[in-house]
Amino acid sequence: MQTPGSMIQDGWLNGARRAPSPNHDARPAGVAIDLVVVHGISLPPGRFGGAHIEQFFTNNLDFAAHPYFHGLREQRVSSHLLVRRDGELVQFVPFTQRAWHAGESSYGRRPRCNDFSIGIELEGTDDIVYTRSQYQQLAAVLTVLQQSYPGIDPARIVGHSDIAPRRKTDPGPAFDWRYLHSLLSSPASHPTAQAED
């Protein structure tokens, strides 16, 4: 059985498929990781599956593939992890590095959340319920992160809308925070959730 420390090696989560993104840089020296930001993404909006999210985060998106993509042409963004609808984990940036997921943001009057946070994208939208597999996988990942980075307590697991409220709404009303916290407090039990199977 793996210990929590062995679940992350050189900033990479064991069990996650790697799709390295060039969109990252070094965290400021001496800054501890003590925040997790949960996002929601679908490309194009409301459409699930396919490779567009991964292509976007790795600068390989074909902008001619859909009219919506033209507005993304100048963006260079990434996340540490993506949790797909079926629970598959894809990692783009090692946790030791600063992924470009939060944008202009602040938490507790502290700006530049990318400096001290881990960004986790869920494949979804603000108004379509997330899947049970996503909640279970997210809870498992958060448990490992909390054990590896002790500054991440439950109060410091937030949505993108919490750190950039004037710009962002994700993961949105469809995300069931109570269910996530119930999984974190009792990982062995799986209470009824507002989630798709």
**CA 148 to CA 1: how far, in whole Å?**
16
Owner of token pair 């993961």: 171
Please, which residues have CB within 8 angstroms of residue 49's CB and are 6 or more apart in sequence?
A: 85
**7 in Cβ contact with 88 (< 8 Å):** no
Q: Using CB atoms within 10 Å of the CB of residue 12, give its burial: 0 to 12 exposed, 13 to 18 middle, 19+ buried.
A: middle
What are the residue numbers of the active site? 121
